């Protein structure tokens, strides 16, 4: 089965979906309202499930070559004591691939390069959908309209298309946490590939890249919408007494490089990821908190699963039914687990609760911690062939 598809949204999930559809013979257009297809200033960790999805889409080896494997690191207290250590070698042994860290801008570029240039339309807005015809969807794009056999709504946590398809859904809600993040201006001598540090109502973490620079993030429990005249100065005051290399990471950052976003999620699960010939994908379908590092990985799973369903099913309707049945239970379960991880991690603020959590982490056997990671990362992708 082949056809014409319009993917609304040029983020990681949208580009991956377009790659999958292109690989199975579909004519694809990606439309993105931003003027550039990039997410500069941030980094991402990709677990085995995300990498396996990229393998299915034919770009896994390219992404791995540009990424840094994460073999060492773990979770610490603000004083620097270890709560748990990551055994990246054991993870690689169990999953046949390590976790990797990569700049989002690099990942975006690699995904774009896997598509013909004519697939991409940037700087244009999709104002709605015309679904009156039973076998086609008309997509208004700028001053014209595109006819499609399939529309993939990958337009993010604030998805306009989700609002049109599910008008009764309450939409995204504020998680209670806000995140500031940046990439350092210069390389650093870091001891670990990946670290998290949990304090009272706060988390600081970093990911090291192949060029020696690092992405850091600071997650704070705070009211929505609070912004700071000097974000980097605020962070130095908040985290300046935390263990090395946190002060060094902040000192290696230009003030104008700091990004600040409130974290929103779909706390009310959608009843379906599809409506007629439209499929919701990525954050538009299951926006989750970042506490498990699974948001992008779940979007990549969506993309591989959608392409496989369309490759094997006899009709768009049956393919979308299969996609919904396979993706909705898993992604919503991961979203629930991420929310719970945040409540037991960064969002804990009472000193007694933090002390109890820390003791429990120190006493958790490594095999139990490994099983917790494998629960979400050990996913077998479908075949496109």
Helix (H, G, I), strand (E, B) or coil at 8: strand
Whole-number pLDDT of residue 34: 86
Q: What does the alpha-carbon distance between residue 341 and residue 313 come to, in Å, rounded to a whole number?
A: 36
Query: Which parts of the chain register pLDDT below 50?
Result: none
**pLDDT tens digit string along 45-94?**
999 999 999 999 999 999 999 999 999 999 999 999 999 998 899 999 99
Whole-number pLDDT of residue 371: 86
Q: What does the alpha-carbon distance between residue 47 and residue 207 come to, in Å, rounded to a whole number?
A: 13
Measured N-to-C along each axis, helices 12-23 and 295-312 cross at an angle, to the nearest 10 degrees, of: 20
Q: What does the alpha-carbon distance between residue 291 and residue 338 come to, in Å, rounded to a whole number?
A: 5
**CATH 3.40.50.2300 applies to domain 4-70+98-172+267-344:** no
pTM, full prediction? 0.95
Helix (H, G, I), strand (E, B) or coil at 205: strand
Whole-number pLDDT of residue 39: 56
Closest CA relative to residue 293, chosen from 230, 353, 215, 357:
215
**pLDDT tens digit string along 176-220?**
999 999 999 999 999 899 999 999 999 999 999 999 999 999 999
Tell me if 276 sits within 8 A of 109, measured CB to CB: no
Whole-number pLDDT of residue 372: 84
Whole-number pLDDT of residue 40: 58
For all residues of the chain together, what is the average pLDDT? 94
Please provide the DSSP assignment of 141-203 as one string: ETTEEEEESEEEE---TT-HHHHHH-TTS---EEEEEEEEEEE-SS----S-SEEEEE-SSEE
């Amino acid at each position: 089965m082949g056809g014409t598809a319009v993917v609304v949204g040029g983020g990681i999930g949208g580009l991956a979906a377009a790659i999958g559809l292109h690989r199975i013979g579909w004519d694809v257009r990606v439309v993105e309202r931003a003027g550039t297809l990039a997410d500069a200033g941030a980094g991402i960790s990709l677990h085995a499930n995300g990498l396996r999805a990229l393998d299915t889409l034919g770009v896994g080896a390219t992404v791995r070559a540009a990424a840094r494997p994460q073999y060492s690191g773990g979770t610490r207290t603000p004083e620097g004591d270890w709560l748990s250590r990551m055994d990246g070698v054991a993870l690689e042994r169990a999953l046949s691939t390590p976790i990797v860290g990569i700049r989002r801008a690099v990942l975006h570029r690699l995904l774009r390069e896997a598509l013909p240039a004519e697939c991409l339309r940037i700087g244009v807005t999709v104002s709605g959908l015309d679904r009156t015809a039973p076998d086609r969807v008309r997509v208004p794009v700028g001053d014209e309209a595109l006819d499609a056999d399939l529309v993939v709504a990958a337009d993010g946590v604030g998805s306009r298309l989700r609002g049109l398809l599910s008008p009764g859904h309450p939409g995204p809600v504020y998680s209670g946490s806000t995140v500031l993040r940046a990439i350092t201006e210069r390389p650093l001598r870091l001891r670990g590939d990946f670290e998290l540090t949990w304090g009272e109502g706060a988390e600081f973490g970093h990911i090291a890249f192949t060029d020696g620079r690092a992405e850091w993030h600071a997650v704070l429990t705070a009211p929505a919408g609070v912004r700071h005249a000097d974000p980097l100065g605020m962070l130095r005051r908040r985290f300046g007494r935390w263990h090395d290399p946190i002060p060094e990471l902040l000192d290696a950052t230009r003030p104008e490089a700091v990004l600040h976003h409130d974290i929103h999620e779909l706390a009310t699960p959608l009843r379906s990821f599809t409506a007629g010939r439209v499929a919701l994908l990525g954050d538009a379908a299951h926006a989750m908190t970042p506490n498990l590092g699974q948001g992008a990985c779940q979007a990549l799973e969506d993309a591989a699963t959608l392409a496989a369903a369309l490759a094997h099913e006899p009709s768009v309707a049956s393919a979308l039914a299969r996609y919904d049945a396979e993706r909705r239970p898993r992604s919503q379960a991961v979203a629930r687990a991420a929310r719970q991880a945040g409540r037991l991690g960064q969002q804990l603020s009472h000193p007694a609760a933090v002390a109890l959590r820390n003791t429990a982490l120190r006493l958790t056997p490594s095999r139990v911690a490994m099983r917790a990671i494998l629960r979400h990362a050990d996913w077998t992708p479908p075949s496109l062939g």
